[in-house]
Structure 1
């Protein structure tokens, strides 16, 4: 059973990317008056497996790995406290692998935060399919904290950008994006990217849909409908609509270069279909120039 606690959880490993994630998570927790939980997976079992270690050697290894984990936790706590000295911080150092540990932690958090790179227990965490496993199976929204190409720290300027595709999960992303823009006091850029070229799965040949003007009118109507009512709920948020005939990954990656946060739904239709298993998600997780917040579907009650 999933029980959401009033807290934000961040996974740490002592790397620069991890530090950026901690600072970002601490700021969000402070803004929302939530508890911050800092976790680090020791992954001792993975170190022992197949190594034939026992006795003094195993004990020495365990002590070294635990000491490294304790340092990572201590450094993260100090960094978080420097963001807000009144922030309530708790820590945990379980003997678990990072991915299952973080997925389990997501059962009890409002938001799960991870950095863009990792070492030690979180080695290669955001490379290959591991990031998709965390983002794809978490039970709460997940933020992957990324900075500009020249800087690990998350950017503090720019608008919040939200990907809109008309799906129920997109609706949840819009809600989160409006709240984030309001909390930060910045404009919200609502992006709806569409493409009038589709591909035949069996033949791999392109075909162009007819009447593009009619299609564009429909896409414009969809974007307007999805944003309807939100301006009344958040009158302080300036809305900028962006309708683009292009692939979502191209548009969102471009928008991330000047944004401070990109918000997307976990799954969608059209260009966002299967985004956490395909090229769009991989592109955002690996190449976005700002944090990416992936909103999970609401649990069925």
Structure 2
């Protein structure tokens, strides 16, 4: 089936192996969603006033612009081999990678990128481009990391916030498109405050707390039966820290979905602590869904 038009899935490439993993993931996602795929390379060298063509005595194709074209061509070929029939295009855009991808976000269905690129330090679990794009993009951002699985559920982190509701909807649609189950995971440590400035009690009843957290989880999933009537949904509320709980669940998942900022996060941080933790420690690809801007 040929992919239809409309908003494209956008994948950022830089010639690295993580970027090629992202291309394969993006191509599969575009095919499932019947959307075109757009391969983009941020070409920073013109901003640094570096000569872009090879010296006259060098062999043809040795210039920086030629090398960038080869990076894009290889990625387009990889995408076409991964998802035959999907409409794939490639473009080199002058600019720094994060800025280029964020410029694509308003018109994109999704942005896909690797967890680190050619300039990444091995000690950094997730590169700065992935974190910046996931923090500021106006569309879902899918980061290729961990194991590539075709079995296991889609896992979504639930905390009862508005962005969590958006993450649940995205995760449900993604699980349905992949033909797999949805695991909605709500991890909690203390009673939820009911308003700004509320004090959390020092002593609380564990049974009552558990019942309240189960209620939050159930309310967060209300309406999924109408949205995806064939989708099998498992609910799980656990007394644990959300980041480690989601990282543990990722070991058997094919995708983990989190909201960019959830309950209890500082409003100045566009990417919350839970989202950051999952991006750094998940054992499968991670999708970050933006909250309302």
TM-score category by the smaller chain?
0.7 to 0.9
**1:36 matches 2:30:** no
Contact 1:187 1:237 in 2 (8 A): yes
Match for 2:289 among 261, 282, 295?
295
TM-score normalised to structure 2 length: 0.85
Residues 257 and 218 (structure 1), Cα distance of their counterparts in 2 relative to 1, 3 Å cut: same
Residues 251 and 44 (structure 1), Cα distance of their counterparts in 2 relative to 1, 3 Å cut: same
Give, in angstroms, the shift of residue 56 of structure 1: 7.9
Alignment of 1:229-240 (within 5 A): 229-240=223-234
Alignment match, 1:20 = 21
Any stretches of 5+ residues in structure 1 without a counterpart? Answer: 149-153, 199-205
Alignment match, 2:217 = 223
Using the alignment, how far apart are the partners of 1:298 and 1:7 within structure 2? 21
Give, in angstroms, the shift of residue 227 of structure 1: 1.1
- Render the CA deviation track for 1:85-134: whole Å, top value 9, x for unaligned: 211111110121101101001111010110112116xx469746443321
Contact 2:115 2:130 in 1 (8 A): no
Residues 54 and 12 (structure 1), Cα distance of their counterparts in 2 relative to 1, 3 Å cut: closer
- Render the CA deviation track for 1:246-266: whole Å, top value 9, x for unaligned: 111011100111100111111
Give, in angstroms, the shift of residue 268 of structure 1: 1.1
Using the alignment, how far apart are the partners of 1:46 and 1:247 within structure 2? 43
Q: Secondary structure at 2:18's aligned position in 1?
A: helix
Alignment match, 1:100 = 99
Contact 2:176 2:231 in 1 (8 A): yes
- Render the CA deviation track for 1:163-196: whole Å, top value 9, x for unaligned: 1111111111111111111111111000000002
Contact 1:144 1:291 in 2 (8 A): yes
Alignment match, 1:146 = 145
CA RMSD of aligned residues (A): 3.0
Alignment match, 1:171 = 165
Using the alignment, how far apart are the partners of 1:262 and 1:95 within structure 2? 32
Match for 2:245 among 243, 247, 251?
251
Contact 1:275 1:281 in 2 (8 A): no
- Render the CA deviation track for 1:10-49: whole Å, top value 9, x for unaligned: 0011211111111111111111111100001121145448
**1:282 matches 2:280:** no
Contact 2:265 2:273 in 1 (8 A): no
Using the alignment, how far apart are the partners of 2:32 and 2:238 within structure 1? 33
Alignment match, 2:113 = 114
TM-score normalised to structure 1 length: 0.82
Corresponding pairs, count: 278
Any stretches of 5+ residues in structure 2 without a counterpart? Answer: 193-199
Alignment match, 2:154 = 160
Q: Secondary structure at 1:41's aligned position in 2?
A: strand
Residues 273 and 55 (structure 1), Cα distance of their counterparts in 2 relative to 1, 3 Å cut: closer
- Using the TM superposition, name which of 26-35 and 206-215 deviates more: 206-215
Contact 1:194 1:271 in 2 (8 A): no
Residues 261 and 276 (structure 1), Cα distance of their counterparts in 2 relative to 1, 3 Å cut: farther
Residues 285 and 54 (structure 1), Cα distance of their counterparts in 2 relative to 1, 3 Å cut: closer
Q: Secondary structure at 1:110's aligned position in 2?
A: strand
Using the alignment, how far apart are the partners of 1:146 and 1:95 within structure 2? 26
